């Protein structure tokens, strides 16, 4: 039977995403405790930078940031200045790191909202210093340096460290607050080039840190560990870790796949989002009749087909159609049939007893003691969990529950 949570009153079109504050808080505190084992006896506990970019992986960036700040998150990570401003305007006071830096012309707005930029090119220092010099505050503006250690995406090349130090010495209004890198294959452990890449990145990063320190630079907060590295690579934890998808209840995929079970055992998590809708129509379809666009599904028996009030325009991945996915209804998994439409989806509920119009269907998430995990749904269609979570559309209301 549906849980009490599925009895929420939703005005208008019945599709919504329930965000569990208690699950989010549990995950945040579990991560913090995991990377601060008592056996280490560190003088300063490792910090946690919660990634809330991409609208908080679809959960609502400003809203989850407020929950995470109360749970003890030390920092927050966003993609761009506008995301950071949204989080700041929600009342979050902890530091916010703008991970992909700033576009020319954004410097003043970034500093006005007390956002910490990442610098990944030497020439960005001059523009940032110029904006910092115009502030009334005499306190230096802190930034973090990103070093590219092999991902070849964003970051300063390791052989540009000397150039960076020379340029920084000219910037009287800036202070280096931290140094970071980003792993390309931290989930890979198999005997292949990707399985060795993270170790090579770590070595390159530590060499760059040593060179910075030799040149008299205080490197500040050192951080590199993303979700997979947090769970499986303790040597990479540094001074701060950056959990992303694990904050929202799911471990990433691993190579080999068996590594995921070990990660889940070491660091148990709770799914935070449950994407739900309701059945808005039921019809009996005779054997041989087609259902939906192109009649991609043809009933092989007298079937009961339910229509859900949600489609790919809401976040039900179109790849889940034609029998590749299922939804949770009355404690049973009912297969998705035919092509997922923009606004509706069809499911076969022939074998679900007591089915009625108005019954709740959980696309993924939890319903009472039942769990339909988003990472399992993602694996079934060959994508990653965050693809599903981030795909939940803006028109779907987020309901924050305890």
Q: Which residues are catalytic?
A: 53, 293
Whether the CB-CB separation of 274 and 366 falls below 8 Å is answered with: yes
Neighbours of 202 (CB within 10 A): 21
Task: Give the angle 85-153-107 at the CA atoms, nearest 5°.
Answer: 30
Give the CA diameter of the chain. 78
Alpha helices in 134-247 (DSSP H): 161-169, 193-214, 227-232
Which distant-in-sequence residues (6+ apart) come within 8 Å of 20 by Cβ?
A: 270, 271, 272, 273, 274, 366, 401, 402
DSSP string of 37-100, one letter each residue: -GGG--SSPPEEEEE-HHHHHTT-HHHHHHHHHHHT--EEEESSHHHHHHHHHTT--S-EEETT
Phi–psi pair at 58, nearest 5 degrees: 85, -5
Please check whether residue 49 is in contact with residue 69, taking contact to mean a CB–CB distance below 8 angstroms. no
Interatomic CA distance for residues 93 and 85, integer angstroms: 11
Residue indicated by tokens 């995929």 = 253
């Amino acid at each position: 039977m549906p849980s009490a949570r599925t009895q929420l009153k939703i005005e208008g079109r019945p599709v919504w995403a329930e965000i569990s504050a208690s699950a989010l808080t549990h995950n945040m505190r579990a991560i913090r405790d995991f990377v601060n084992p008592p056996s280490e006896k560190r003088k300063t506990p490792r910090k946690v930078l919660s990634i809330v970019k991409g609208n908080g992986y679809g959960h609502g960036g400003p809203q989850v940031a407020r929950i995470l700040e109360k749970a003890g998150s030390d920092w927050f990570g966003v993609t761009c200045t506008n995301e950071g401003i949204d989080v700041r305007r929600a009342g979050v006071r902890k530091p916010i790191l703008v991970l992909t830096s700033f576009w020319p012309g954004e410097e003043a707005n970034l500093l006005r909202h007390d956002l910490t930029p990442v610098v990944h090119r030497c020439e960005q220092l001059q523009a940032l210093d110029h904006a910092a010099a115009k502030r009334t505050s005499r306190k230096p503006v802190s930034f973090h340096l990103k070093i590219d250690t092999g991902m070849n995406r964003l970051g300063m090349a390791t052989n540009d460290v000397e150039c960076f130090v020379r340029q920084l010495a000219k910037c009287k209004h800036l202070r280096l607050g931290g140094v970071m890198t980003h792993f390309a294959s931290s989930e890979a452990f198999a005997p292949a080039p990707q399985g060795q890449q993270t170790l090579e990145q770590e070595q390159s990063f530590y060499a760059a840190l040593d060179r910075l320190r030799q040149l008299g630079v205080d490197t500040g907060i050192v951080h590199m560990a993303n979700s997979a590295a947090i769970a499986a690579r303790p040597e990479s934890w540094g001074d701060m870790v950056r959990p992303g998808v694990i904050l929202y209840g799911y471990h990433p995929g691993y190579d080999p796949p068996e590594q995921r079970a070990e990660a889940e055992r070491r660091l148990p998590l709770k799914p935070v989002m449950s994407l739900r809708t309701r059945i808005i129509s039921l019809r009996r379809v005779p054997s041989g009749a087609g259902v939906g666009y192109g009649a991609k599904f043809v009933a092989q028996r007298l079937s009961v087909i339910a229509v859900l009030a949600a489609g790919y325009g809401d976040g039900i991945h179109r790849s889940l159609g034609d029998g590749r996915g299922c939804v949770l209804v009355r404690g049973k998994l009912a297969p998705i049939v035919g092509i997922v439409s923009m606004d509706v989806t069809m499911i076969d509920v022939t074998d679900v007893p007591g089915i009625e119009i108005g019954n709740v269907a959980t696309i993924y998430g939890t319903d009472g003691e039942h769990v339909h995990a988003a990472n399992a749904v993602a694996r079934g269609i060959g994508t990653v969990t965050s693809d599903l979570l981030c795909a939940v559309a803006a028109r779907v209301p987020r309901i924050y529950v305890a």
